[in-house]
A and B are shown apart, each in its own frame.
Chain A
Amino acid sequence: MRVLKLALSLALGASFVCTGARAQAPAAPSAPAPASEAALPPPGPLDAAGMQALLTIIDDRQRNIGDYKALATIDQREKDKNDTAFETVFYRRDGSDQFLILFLKPKTEAGKGYLRIEKNLWMYDPATGKWERRTERERIGGTNSRSDDFDPIYLARDFTAAYVGSEKLGTFGVHHMKLTAKPGAKVADPILEVWADQATGNILKQQGFALSGRLLRTAYYPTWEKIFSESKNASVYYPRVIQIFDEVEKENRTTVKIDKVDLRPLEKNIFTKAWLESKSR
């Protein structure tokens, strides 16, 4: 996988050289057909190879070889607290594992942001001008959403899968799998259970557990959209809506809605502290 990431980085680097920042991009050189285009495993119980294949497809579908930008709304409802909502924009450069989320609204939140570069997740607050080092479990803006809701983790690379069963989720037939984080993997939840649609391969439900086995949160992905990426020469998938339920504070829930996606190349220096700082100076 690291070799793949390196290859992606190189390809991405090459595209910058060719296109320049924010250019109305000529497409990056066509890549070979990615794993996301591979055939889905058949309905019914999956063996280890089948699960690995499915998770690889899921991982690959959500990534773009080029850049990715999306406008998202985060809505948080909490017990005994005022409801909050944010309008945000998030940026990804999957090839080099870079991610940035910038808060646009409400006014008091504008300019705040999270920047992830490799293993570092930074939080910036323009009110103090300070950068703070945060962890993967950081609740984005104090909501139940986390950075991996916007920047998907690598299920096939970071987890070992065990098949739980072929089940029904509402009217949909799903593969229910239990994923355990591999040693050293930097993930928010050490144990995941996922329910993947047998017909489309999309994850419809995901639960995160602590090592003790305690359920921490449940997320539903009722709608997936795919958008064609020229740089990837295949579709990039994203959940249009994510419904997140806090399983510790049962009354707390968050809705993330992705309104618009833009796959044009981003500014070269966008994943830097200086860029985020410049948005609120």
Chain B
Amino acid sequence: MNLTAAGILWRIALGNVWRNRMKSLIVGFILFLGTGIIVFGNALVDAVDDGMTRSVTQSVSGHLQIYSDDAKDKLALFGDQFAGMPDIGNIPDFHGLAEVVRKVPNVKAVIPMGIDFALGFQGNEIDRWLQRLRAAVRAGDEPMIAQRRDEVRAVVERVFNELKGAAALVAAGGEYAEDMKAAERAASPEFWAAFDQDRLGNLEFLENRIAPLEQTLGDVGLMFLGTDLASFEKNFDRFELVEGSRVPEGQRGFIFNHGFYEEVMKHRVARDLDKIKRRMEEGYTFEADAEIRSWRDQMAGQYRRVLFQLDRQAGERIRDGLRTLLGQASGELPDLLQSFLKVDDATFAARYAWFYENVAPHIQLYAAQIGDTIPLQAYTKAGYSKSINVKVYGTYKFKGLEKSDVGKMFNLVDMVTFRDLYGLMTPERRAEVAAIRERAGLKDVKREDAEAALFGGTAAVETTAQATGFDEFGGDGGAKVERSQADQKFEPTEIERGVALNAAVTLTDPTKLVETRAAIQDALKAAGLKMRVVDWKEAAGMMGDLVTVARTVLWVIVVIMLLVALVIINNSMVIATMERVKEIGTMRAVGAQRSFIAALFLAETTVLGLLSGGFGALCAAGGIMLWGKIGLPAQNAFMTFLFSGPRLYPTITFSHLFAAVMLIMFFALISTLYPAVLAARILPRVAMAEEG
């Protein structure tokens, strides 16, 4: 086809598009819509991809992660599909690995890591007072003993008064009567007058008879990430200290995740008040929302958690304050606290403020305060439990991820403490276990044949033994254990010299991730280190798969939509072809070749596709630019993580527009092929016959 013919073709095509306006409008609208959706979808997924990349790489994973090639499971920083922590083996000598990786070009930092889980035991409010008194007695600090003894006495008196309130139960006898008797004794002046004569004995009486009268709080599970804290802060931009201070160099220390600290470690009543406040800020009211009323009722039932934490003076002050606030001339603290906590729409704001101003300073607002030393207990790799005292230095957050569950997941601890809690099985320990077994002559019995092995013979099940006195402390059985010291220091070089479970690698130029990954893998192999190097998406486990899933879902939707469009366009064109038989026949009669007719149809679709697709892409671009200014709000914690903040701000690029128009053009032309072939087959005489 020469240039003249091409010119004629495009002119006719443009004319036909205009002449067949109705058909062009239908097909054009479909192409317009399709292009818009592709542009929107692609920009959205790219924005989520980018958000998640930032959430993960700037908070925990870095750009690459390295872990043992002998790992049983794949690394999943945020847990695997079974919501557990995978077994990823360990890097026995982190320093050796880091030395190799740091030499690879584009590597900015290599940070040791390990994730583990510890338990924190809470006891109950009375247990806490008694622990404080026991610590003072242990230390022999007389002024402190006197002060804490009076505090405990005030709490015990409250327990007694509370129990008196359950007079009907006490009258029924049984355990209540015994409890009442114990509480009466503990609250009596005689008990306290004689307390100092046998402090430890009296403490045990209080611990075993009085403390159980209050409900015990559940254990707290703490997930922690052991790392080089200074390097972590330096290399993960999202890290921000919220309260307290950094852990000094060479010092053991613990930093709570601020979200976790507020939602788990905070006093139950304060937490409930915060939760109600957040709900009310979302527009809910006590009058209209049953859930908020239910929270309020549960909170009022927790008044003893406040009552038993107040010392005598604070209790009297709050009692007087509540009498004024509630307009009650009399009334005792337990009743006043319950009335106070029965908030409604009219009273909530004022009481919330009153609580934080007048009550919070006198209670233990967090189960562990900043500056406290807390015991962390974990099950070590060696199989034994290990407890360590560690000082809490502060709280931190990942900027922008405050509301995301993933952003609240990890508390931080220094690498040396982590290693102690992780506790690998050493040859010495293995030998010790073997010696214990050998001495006891233990036989391993398997489940499958236990009954046959144990009861299949005729051996007597009952024998007579002789009492054998023994001294359990005669040998080395009385070995003394070193007390874990929270202020124990270590050489900063120790952080690197030892085991890590995985290593995070940050890059100077993240766009060269693929090449750098390959270079690191090669360097490790050359150094004889059997390690896996994975990118952040793989390291994030299920989280990393989400973007791939989101993108796949989008493309499935787009392809389905395009297939529908293909059918509609095809039908429209076929119908239009049938309506244009005479016109096509005439063209054929005046010498138009079949190829010209087919090209004409394709040209018409191209014109329509470019106009509609282009217009659709521009409209979508405008929409995204507007959306990018306003931001799409994250509706829940998970979306906050995906969006890398409270709102998603998508951006548009030329590639989004170009790809969408090209794709829509491709589908439009495919759907025009059949009508074009049909039209090309029309013979001039058919058109004439129609004329006739």
Partners in one complex: yes
Contact residues, B404-455 vs A (CB, 8 A): 425, 429-430, 432-433, 436-437, 439-445, 447, 450-452, 454-455
A196 shortest CB reach to chain B, Å: 11
- Residue pair B440, A78 in contact (C-beta under 8 Å): no
Residue A43 at the B interface, CB < 8 A?
A: no
Residue B456 at the A interface, CB < 8 A?
A: yes
In the complex, the chain A residue whose C-beta lies closest to that of B207 is: A120
Are A281 and B477 also in contact (CB < 8 A) when A75-B437, A170-B451 are? no
Residue A109 at the B interface, CB < 8 A?
A: yes
Q: Mark A240-279, 1 if CB is under 8 A from B, else 0.
A: 1001010000100101010111111000000011100001
Q: How far is the CA of A259 from the CA of B462 in the complex (A)?
A: 15
A262 — which chain B residues lie within 8 A by C-beta? 467-470
Residue A111 at the B interface, CB < 8 A?
A: yes
Interface size on B, residues (CB 8 A): 76
- Residue pair B468, A142 in contact (C-beta under 8 Å): no
Inter-chain contact total with CB atoms closer than 8 Å:
231
Contact residues, B100-149 vs A (CB, 8 A): 121, 123-124, 127, 131, 134
In the complex, the chain B residue whose C-beta lies closest to that of A86 is: B436
Interface size on A, residues (CB 8 A): 82
A151 shortest CB reach to chain B, Å: 16
Q: How far is the CA of A240 from the CA of B443 in the complex (A)?
A: 13
A217 shortest CB reach to chain B, Å: 11
A215 shortest CB reach to chain B, Å: 12
A78 — which chain B residues lie within 8 A by C-beta? 383
In the complex, the chain B residue whose C-beta lies closest to that of A81 is: B383
Residue B327 at the A interface, CB < 8 A?
A: no
A80, A82, A142, A262, most chain B CB atoms within 10 A: A82
Q: How far is the CA of A197 from the CA of B461 in the complex (A)?
A: 9
Residue B595 at the A interface, CB < 8 A?
A: no
Residue A76 at the B interface, CB < 8 A?
A: yes
- Complex partner residue of A250 from B212, B386, B387, B447, CB under 8 angstroms: B447
- Residue pair B437, A260 in contact (C-beta under 8 Å): no
Are A117 and B208 also in contact (CB < 8 A) when A128-B375, A130-B375, A222-B461 are? yes
A235 — which chain B residues lie within 8 A by C-beta? 464
Q: How far is the CA of A240 from the CA of B121 in the complex (A)?
A: 34
- Residue pair B481, A220 in contact (C-beta under 8 Å): no
- Residue pair B483, A129 in contact (C-beta under 8 Å): yes
A248 shortest CB reach to chain B, Å: 13
Q: How far is the CA of A126 from the CA of B484 in the complex (A)?
A: 8
Q: How far is the CA of A281 from the CA of B433 in the complex (A)?
A: 24
In the complex, the chain A residue whose C-beta lies closest to that of B375 is: A128
Q: How far is the CA of A202 from the CA of B463 in the complex (A)?
A: 11
- Complex partner residue of B436 from A73, A119, A280, CB under 8 angstroms: A73
- Residue pair B121, A132 in contact (C-beta under 8 Å): yes
B381 shortest CB reach to chain A, Å: 7
- Residue pair B384, A109 in contact (C-beta under 8 Å): yes
B493 — which chain A residues lie within 8 A by C-beta? none
Which A residues contact B (CB, under 8 angstroms)? 69, 71, 73, 75-78, 80-87, 89, 102, 104-112, 117-120, 122, 125-134, 141-142, 169-172, 184, 197, 200, 202, 204-205, 220, 222-228, 235, 237, 240, 243, 245, 250, 253, 255, 257, 259-264, 272-274, 279-281
**Known contacts A222-B455, A222-B461, A226-B462, then 20 further A-B pairs from the complex at CB < 8 Å, ordered by chain A residue:** A71-B472, A76-B383, A78-B383, A102-B472, A104-B478, A105-B436, A108-B384, A119-B208, A120-B211, A120-B212, A128-B377, A133-B127, A141-B384, A197-B461, A197-B462, A225-B463, A227-B465, A243-B445, A273-B134, A281-B480
* Top 9 A-B pairs, shortest CB-CB distance: A170-B455, A73-B440, A104-B477, A128-B375, A84-B383, A110-B479, A132-B121, A222-B454, A85-B436
